[in-house]
Amino acid sequence: MSKEKSPKSLQNDHSEMHYTHGVFHYPEDNITVVTQPTFEDTLEAIADQPANNTTIVTPELALLNDDEFHDFSLEKQTDAMLKTLNERFCRLKGVSYDTSNAIMIGAPLQSPTRTGYNNGAAVFQYGSTTHLQRKKHPGPYEEELGWFEYNADQNPYHKLGATGLICSELIFAITLEKKLRNSTDKILMPAAWGVPSMTPEIAAAYGTTDQYNQYTLDTAASMAAEDIPNLKSIYIADRVVDGASPQSGKINIARK
Protein backbone atom coordinates (compact mmCIF):
# COMPACT_ATOMS: atom_id res chain seq x y z
CA MET A 1 0.00 0.00 0.00
CA SER A 2 1.51 3.29 -1.08
CA LYS A 3 1.99 6.09 1.43
CA GLU A 4 -0.50 8.92 1.06
CA LYS A 5 1.14 12.13 -0.13
CA SER A 6 0.42 15.45 1.53
CA PRO A 7 -0.74 18.43 -0.58
CA LYS A 8 2.03 20.48 -2.16
CA SER A 9 2.68 23.88 -0.62
CA LEU A 10 1.89 27.03 -2.60
CA GLN A 11 4.59 29.58 -3.36
CA ASN A 12 2.44 32.72 -3.60
CA ASP A 13 -0.17 34.45 -1.43
CA HIS A 14 -3.66 33.03 -2.12
CA SER A 15 -5.39 34.70 0.86
CA GLU A 16 -7.54 36.83 -1.46
CA MET A 17 -8.68 33.90 -3.59
CA HIS A 18 -12.18 32.37 -3.50
CA TYR A 19 -13.35 28.90 -4.50
CA THR A 20 -16.98 29.53 -5.35
CA HIS A 21 -19.08 31.65 -7.69
CA GLY A 22 -19.41 35.27 -6.67
CA VAL A 23 -18.45 38.91 -7.15
CA PHE A 24 -15.12 39.89 -5.61
CA HIS A 25 -13.93 43.49 -5.26
CA TYR A 26 -10.33 44.73 -5.14
CA PRO A 27 -10.54 48.51 -4.65
CA GLU A 28 -6.78 48.93 -4.33
CA ASP A 29 -6.50 48.32 -8.09
CA ASN A 30 -10.11 49.18 -9.02
CA ILE A 31 -10.72 45.65 -10.28
CA THR A 32 -13.78 43.43 -9.78
CA VAL A 33 -13.90 39.71 -10.56
CA VAL A 34 -17.29 38.29 -11.57
CA THR A 35 -17.80 34.54 -11.89
CA GLN A 36 -21.29 33.08 -12.36
CA PRO A 37 -22.70 29.82 -13.83
CA THR A 38 -24.84 31.43 -16.54
CA PHE A 39 -24.64 34.37 -18.89
CA GLU A 40 -27.82 35.83 -17.36
CA ASP A 41 -26.27 35.74 -13.88
CA THR A 42 -23.06 37.26 -15.24
CA LEU A 43 -24.94 40.06 -16.99
CA GLU A 44 -26.97 40.84 -13.87
CA ALA A 45 -23.84 40.95 -11.69
CA ILE A 46 -22.11 43.28 -14.15
CA ALA A 47 -25.14 45.58 -14.34
CA ASP A 48 -25.24 45.80 -10.53
CA GLN A 49 -21.71 47.25 -10.25
CA PRO A 50 -21.42 51.00 -9.55
CA ALA A 51 -19.91 53.10 -12.32
CA ASN A 52 -16.49 54.09 -11.00
CA ASN A 53 -14.00 53.24 -13.77
CA THR A 54 -13.62 49.68 -12.49
CA THR A 55 -12.23 46.93 -14.70
CA ILE A 56 -14.54 43.91 -14.49
CA VAL A 57 -13.02 40.53 -15.34
CA THR A 58 -15.15 37.47 -16.19
CA PRO A 59 -14.19 33.83 -16.88
CA GLU A 60 -13.00 32.26 -20.09
CA LEU A 61 -15.93 31.92 -22.52
CA ALA A 62 -18.24 33.62 -19.99
CA LEU A 63 -20.58 34.42 -22.86
CA LEU A 64 -21.50 30.72 -22.69
CA ASN A 65 -23.58 29.06 -19.98
CA ASP A 66 -21.95 26.12 -18.22
CA ASP A 67 -23.77 23.53 -20.38
CA GLU A 68 -22.76 25.38 -23.56
CA PHE A 69 -19.18 25.70 -22.32
CA HIS A 70 -18.85 21.95 -21.81
CA ASP A 71 -19.77 21.27 -25.43
CA PHE A 72 -18.91 23.99 -27.92
CA SER A 73 -17.95 21.39 -30.52
CA LEU A 74 -18.15 22.13 -34.23
CA GLU A 75 -21.59 20.50 -34.33
CA LYS A 76 -22.83 23.09 -31.81
CA GLN A 77 -21.45 26.07 -33.74
CA THR A 78 -24.66 26.56 -35.71
CA ASP A 79 -26.28 29.66 -37.16
CA ALA A 80 -28.66 29.58 -34.19
CA MET A 81 -25.72 29.65 -31.75
CA LEU A 82 -24.12 32.51 -33.69
CA LYS A 83 -27.38 34.44 -33.40
CA THR A 84 -27.50 33.75 -29.65
CA LEU A 85 -23.92 34.95 -29.18
CA ASN A 86 -24.58 38.12 -31.19
CA GLU A 87 -27.66 38.82 -29.05
CA ARG A 88 -25.60 38.40 -25.88
CA PHE A 89 -22.90 40.73 -27.20
CA CYS A 90 -25.59 43.34 -27.90
CA ARG A 91 -26.99 43.00 -24.37
CA LEU A 92 -23.51 43.46 -22.89
CA LYS A 93 -23.00 46.55 -25.01
CA GLY A 94 -26.33 47.83 -23.73
CA VAL A 95 -25.24 47.37 -20.11
CA SER A 96 -21.96 49.18 -20.83
CA TYR A 97 -23.63 52.31 -22.29
CA ASP A 98 -24.33 53.90 -18.93
CA THR A 99 -21.16 52.96 -17.09
CA SER A 100 -17.53 54.01 -17.05
CA ASN A 101 -16.54 50.46 -16.12
CA ALA A 102 -14.48 48.41 -18.58
CA ILE A 103 -16.06 44.96 -18.98
CA MET A 104 -13.74 42.12 -20.04
CA ILE A 105 -15.87 39.18 -21.17
CA GLY A 106 -14.45 35.83 -22.22
CA ALA A 107 -16.18 34.83 -25.45
CA PRO A 108 -16.02 32.80 -28.66
CA LEU A 109 -15.06 35.30 -31.37
CA GLN A 110 -15.56 34.70 -35.05
CA SER A 111 -12.21 34.00 -36.68
CA PRO A 112 -10.92 36.77 -38.98
CA THR A 113 -10.95 34.13 -41.72
CA ARG A 114 -14.65 33.47 -40.92
CA THR A 115 -14.03 29.74 -41.05
CA GLY A 116 -14.66 29.13 -37.35
CA TYR A 117 -14.19 30.60 -33.89
CA ASN A 118 -11.31 31.88 -31.81
CA ASN A 119 -11.28 31.54 -28.03
CA GLY A 120 -11.05 35.18 -27.07
CA ALA A 121 -12.08 38.12 -24.93
CA ALA A 122 -13.81 41.40 -25.68
CA VAL A 123 -13.72 44.62 -23.67
CA PHE A 124 -16.79 46.87 -23.60
CA GLN A 125 -17.00 50.43 -22.30
CA TYR A 126 -19.49 53.25 -22.92
CA GLY A 127 -21.47 51.08 -25.33
CA SER A 128 -18.49 50.30 -27.57
CA THR A 129 -16.19 47.36 -28.11
CA THR A 130 -12.84 48.86 -27.14
CA HIS A 131 -10.67 45.77 -27.50
CA LEU A 132 -10.69 42.25 -28.97
CA GLN A 133 -8.15 39.66 -27.92
CA ARG A 134 -7.75 36.17 -29.41
CA LYS A 135 -6.11 33.28 -27.61
CA LYS A 136 -2.77 32.28 -29.09
CA HIS A 137 -1.64 29.48 -26.76
CA PRO A 138 -4.21 26.75 -25.96
CA GLY A 139 -3.76 24.21 -23.22
CA PRO A 140 -3.18 20.59 -24.37
CA TYR A 141 -6.71 19.44 -23.58
CA GLU A 142 -8.28 22.44 -25.29
CA GLU A 143 -6.22 21.90 -28.42
CA GLU A 144 -7.21 18.22 -28.45
CA LEU A 145 -10.92 19.15 -28.48
CA GLY A 146 -10.51 21.00 -31.78
CA TRP A 147 -13.24 23.56 -31.08
CA PHE A 148 -11.25 26.67 -31.93
CA GLU A 149 -8.75 28.15 -34.33
CA TYR A 150 -5.81 29.98 -32.74
CA ASN A 151 -4.57 33.34 -33.84
CA ALA A 152 -0.95 34.36 -34.20
CA ASP A 153 -1.96 37.99 -33.59
CA GLN A 154 -2.61 37.76 -29.86
CA ASN A 155 -3.15 41.53 -29.36
CA PRO A 156 -3.30 41.38 -25.55
CA TYR A 157 -5.26 44.02 -23.67
CA HIS A 158 -2.97 46.43 -21.82
CA LYS A 159 -3.90 49.48 -19.79
CA LEU A 160 -2.35 51.15 -16.74
CA GLY A 161 0.03 48.25 -16.13
CA ALA A 162 -2.67 45.57 -16.47
CA THR A 163 -2.29 42.99 -19.25
CA GLY A 164 -4.93 40.49 -20.33
CA LEU A 165 -4.00 36.82 -20.75
CA ILE A 166 -6.51 34.02 -21.34
CA CYS A 167 -6.05 31.00 -19.06
CA SER A 168 -3.18 28.80 -20.34
CA GLU A 169 -1.49 31.87 -21.87
CA LEU A 170 -0.23 32.56 -18.34
CA ILE A 171 2.23 29.70 -18.87
CA PHE A 172 3.53 31.36 -22.04
CA ALA A 173 4.04 34.86 -20.61
CA ILE A 174 7.64 34.79 -21.85
CA THR A 175 6.32 35.06 -25.43
CA LEU A 176 4.95 38.55 -24.80
CA GLU A 177 6.96 41.38 -26.27
CA LYS A 178 9.70 42.50 -23.89
CA LYS A 179 8.37 46.07 -23.69
CA LEU A 180 4.95 44.74 -22.70
CA ARG A 181 6.40 42.37 -20.11
CA ASN A 182 8.42 45.17 -18.54
CA SER A 183 5.40 47.48 -18.32
CA THR A 184 3.09 44.88 -16.73
CA ASP A 185 2.50 44.73 -12.98
CA LYS A 186 -0.95 43.08 -13.06
CA ILE A 187 -2.46 40.30 -15.14
CA LEU A 188 -6.19 40.09 -15.84
CA MET A 189 -7.04 36.48 -16.59
CA PRO A 190 -10.31 35.01 -17.82
CA ALA A 191 -9.86 31.30 -17.08
CA ALA A 192 -11.28 27.79 -17.12
CA TRP A 193 -8.37 26.32 -15.22
CA GLY A 194 -9.44 22.78 -14.31
CA VAL A 195 -8.25 20.00 -16.62
CA PRO A 196 -10.99 17.40 -17.27
CA SER A 197 -8.58 14.83 -18.74
CA MET A 198 -6.52 14.68 -15.53
CA THR A 199 -6.41 11.19 -14.03
CA PRO A 200 -7.41 10.60 -10.38
CA GLU A 201 -3.94 9.21 -9.69
CA ILE A 202 -2.36 12.56 -10.51
CA ALA A 203 -4.82 14.43 -8.29
CA ALA A 204 -4.19 12.03 -5.41
CA ALA A 205 -0.51 12.92 -5.46
CA TYR A 206 -1.48 16.51 -4.65
CA GLY A 207 -4.29 15.82 -2.18
CA THR A 208 -7.53 16.48 -4.12
CA THR A 209 -8.47 17.66 -7.60
CA ASP A 210 -9.01 21.18 -6.25
CA GLN A 211 -5.60 21.17 -4.56
CA TYR A 212 -3.99 19.94 -7.77
CA ASN A 213 -5.62 22.77 -9.74
CA GLN A 214 -4.50 25.29 -7.10
CA TYR A 215 -0.96 23.98 -7.28
CA THR A 216 -0.77 24.13 -11.09
CA LEU A 217 -2.20 27.66 -11.10
CA ASP A 218 0.30 28.74 -8.45
CA THR A 219 3.15 27.17 -10.43
CA ALA A 220 2.04 28.98 -13.59
CA ALA A 221 1.86 32.24 -11.62
CA SER A 222 5.45 31.76 -10.43
CA MET A 223 6.59 31.01 -13.98
CA ALA A 224 4.94 34.20 -15.21
CA ALA A 225 6.60 36.17 -12.41
CA GLU A 226 10.01 34.98 -13.61
CA ASP A 227 9.27 36.33 -17.09
CA ILE A 228 7.48 39.54 -16.04
CA PRO A 229 9.92 41.34 -13.73
CA ASN A 230 7.46 43.82 -12.19
CA LEU A 231 4.50 41.47 -11.79
CA LYS A 232 2.79 41.97 -8.42
CA SER A 233 -0.61 40.33 -8.79
CA ILE A 234 -2.81 38.16 -10.99
CA TYR A 235 -6.57 38.67 -11.08
CA ILE A 236 -8.34 35.47 -12.09
CA ALA A 237 -11.97 34.92 -13.06
CA ASP A 238 -12.35 31.14 -13.22
CA ARG A 239 -15.27 28.83 -13.96
CA VAL A 240 -16.28 25.29 -13.00
CA VAL A 241 -14.57 22.62 -15.10
CA ASP A 242 -15.51 18.97 -14.69
CA GLY A 243 -17.00 19.60 -11.24
CA ALA A 244 -13.88 21.18 -9.74
CA SER A 245 -14.19 24.37 -7.70
CA PRO A 246 -13.44 27.62 -9.53
CA GLN A 247 -10.39 29.61 -8.41
CA SER A 248 -11.19 33.30 -8.59
CA GLY A 249 -9.77 36.43 -7.06
CA LYS A 250 -6.26 37.77 -6.59
CA ILE A 251 -2.94 35.99 -6.30
CA ASN A 252 -0.25 38.20 -4.78
CA ILE A 253 3.14 37.28 -6.17
CA ALA A 254 5.78 36.38 -3.60
CA ARG A 255 9.15 37.93 -4.47
CA LYS A 256 12.30 36.64 -2.81
Over residues 25-70, the pLDDT tens digits come to: 999 999 999 999 999 999 999 999 999 999 999 999 999 998 888 8
**Is residue 100, in this structure, part of any structural domain at all?**
yes
**Is residue 64, in this structure, part of any structural domain at all?**
yes
Give the structural domain span for 19: 13-248
**Is residue 254, in this structure, part of any structural domain at all?**
no
Instruction: Give the per-residue pLDDT at 12.
Output: 95
Q: Is the pLDDT of residue 2 over 50?
A: no
Instruction: Give the per-residue pLDDT at 8.
Output: 60
**Is residue 206, in this structure, part of any structural domain at all?**
yes
Q: CATH number, domain at 144?
A: 3.60.110.10
**Is residue 6, in this structure, part of any structural domain at all?**
no
Instruction: Give the per-residue pLDDT at 101.
Output: 97
In DSSP notation, the chain reads: -PPPPPPPPPSSEEEEEESSSEEEEETTTTEEEEE-SSHHHHHHHHHTS--SS-EEE--TTTTS-HHHHT---GGG--HHHHHHHHHHHHHHHHHHTT---EEEEEEEEE-TTSSSEEEEEEEEETTEEEEEEE--S--HHHHHHT--B--S-----EETTEEE--GGGGGGGGGS-HHHHHT-SEEEEE-----TT--HHHHHTTSSHHHHHHHHHHHHHHHHHHHSTT--EEEEE---BTTBPP-EEEEEPP--
**Is residue 7, in this structure, part of any structural domain at all?**
no
> What percent of the chain clears pLDDT 90, i.e. is strictly above it?
67
**Is residue 237, in this structure, part of any structural domain at all?**
yes
Domain count, the chain: 1
The pTM score is: 0.92
